[in-house]
A and B are shown apart, each in its own frame.
Chain A
Amino acid sequence: MAVDEPPVRARRDRVLAWLDRVPTLVWIGAAALVVVGVVALFGGLDDAEATVDVTELQALAVGVASGGAPTDVTVLSVSRTTAMPELWLEADPGQEFIVVEIDAVNTWDRTTVGIRSAVLLELDGELVEADRVMVSADLAAVSTLPPRVPTRMTLIWPVPVGAVGDVAPVLVTDSVFVPDPVLLDAPYWRDLGPRWVVSAPVETAPHAAQGDGSAP
């Protein structure tokens, strides 16, 4: 059995004594730096992904249901306009409205609240939620969808004139159900972001919403 020679043992003791003098906070700080370094190494400190490469998304035709969850979305039409009299809306100078009409079905068995993030518009690589989300029949602004009631909806984005060309990239998102979350008290749907892209031809209309035409 090897025994440390006295000079070696003395050197080890000096090192241990020096380490012993290092304050605990320094150790904690060093450990934190290591964690941050590893996180940075794997991209954890990068900016959150606010853009999307539409070429990587699954193409979906106008009029075809996404089959997404919990909201199954069918993009029906896209139009541009500068005025929507039924909503008392007029675009600011240099702006126009992009109006997307969809059929949406909440396939879950509870009322959902994520309709606003179910459909996005891609503008210069940015994902943008609609400014207004309404039921087309009465143009009532809603944030929820009842379960299993197919609903025709009108979504409106104010955009700079020319920001959307002849074809609008309408993105449809998907979510996954988390039945037993660790930190939250109730099950929820985790947003997976855009999964489908509908390259919809943009029609020009004086006003595109399908309300009864009467002012609110």
Chain B
Amino acid sequence: MRRPRLRGGLAVLAGLVLVVAAWGVLELAPSTEAVQAPIPVRVGMGERGEGRNIAATVLDVVIAERLTDEDPFDPWNGETTGQWIVVNATVESTRRGGSLDARLELGSLSIIGSGRPPIGTSLQTAPLEAGIQVTGWVAFEVPADAPLPSTATIRIAEGIDSRLDSVITVRLDLAGADRVGEFVLPDTETAAR
């Protein structure tokens, strides 16, 4: 009479152990976001980072209260209630044509490069052709309600979907960056073929 009861008890215990083990596996397993995370290529300012489909060299960073462009007849009015962090870089799509996706990690904030600057003055909206270097600036509109951290990180990828693909990652020294009232965005320059 005792054996079936004992067997039943063991079965319940084994079931509980399996449930706990399954929970443990679930907790230990990396999230989908982590499994599909981009592959960072970390380089410093002035160094060329090259990934599977993108290469980039970050050259300079400037903090500005206002942006404009070089158009003498109809200058762009890049006013903001925040401030601008503008980053100068040379980028190159290494496999196929496409577009750039630049993001700034600023403290807890993640900011996509602004689409406000006129076409031709921003790397964020510049078309990329395979093997052709483009040099220019990408502008990030950031809040002005708190002091800027001393550093930020720019992440440069080819296309908006960088899952499991290369992202050139460069730490920016904001404490040492030039601060200006107005910054004039020059036109992007495409290297000769």
A114 to nearest B CB, angstroms? 13
Residues of A88-131 at the interface with B, using a CB-CB cut-off of 8 Å, are 109-111
Given the contacts A146-B141, A149-B141, A109 and B112 also touching, CB distance less than 8 Å: no
- Residue A142 CB within 8 A of the other chain: yes
Are B32's CB and A185's CB within 8 A?
yes
Q: For the complex, what is the distance from the CA of A141 to the CA of B117, rounded to whole Å?
A: 10
Q: Which of B33, B108, B110 contacts A111 (CB 8 A)?
A: B110
Closest partner residue, chain A, to B32 (CB atom): A185
Are A142's CB and B74's CB within 8 A?
no
Are B109's CB and A151's CB within 8 A?
no
Are A185's CB and B36's CB within 8 A?
yes
- Residue A30 CB within 8 A of the other chain: no
A205 to nearest B CB, angstroms? 20
- From B9-17, B19-27, B77-85, B182-190, the one touching the partner chain is B77-85
* Residue numbers in B under 8 Å from A142 (CB-CB): 115-116
Q: For the complex, what is the distance from the CA of A150 to the CA of B118, rounded to whole Å?
A: 21
Q: Mark A142-168, 1 if CB is under 8 A from B, else 0.
A: 111011111100000000000000000
* Residue numbers in B under 8 Å from A172 (CB-CB): none
Closest partner residue, chain A, to B146 (CB atom): A148
A128 to nearest B CB, angstroms? 23
The secondary structure that dominates the A interface is loop
Q: How large is the interface on B (under 10, 10 to 19, 20 to 34, 35 or more residues)?
A: 20 to 34
- Residue B137 CB within 8 A of the other chain: no
- Residue B178 CB within 8 A of the other chain: no
B102 to nearest A CB, angstroms? 11
Q: For the complex, what is the distance from the CA of A148 to the CA of B142, rounded to whole Å?
A: 8
* Residue numbers in A under 8 Å from B108 (CB-CB): 109
- Residue A63 CB within 8 A of the other chain: no
Closest partner residue, chain A, to B163 (CB atom): A185
Are A185's CB and B33's CB within 8 A?
yes
A185 to nearest B CB, angstroms? 5
- Residue B114 CB within 8 A of the other chain: yes
Are B140's CB and A138's CB within 8 A?
no
- Residue B130 CB within 8 A of the other chain: no
Residue ranges of A at the interface with B (Cβ–Cβ < 8 Å) = 109-111, 135, 137-138, 140-144, 146-151, 185-186, 211-212, 214-216
What are 5 A-B residue pairs whose CB atoms fall within 8 Å in the complex?
A109-B108, A140-B116, A148-B82, A149-B81, A211-B77
Residue ranges of B at the interface with A (Cβ–Cβ < 8 Å) = 32-33, 36, 74, 76-82, 108-112, 114-118, 140-145, 163
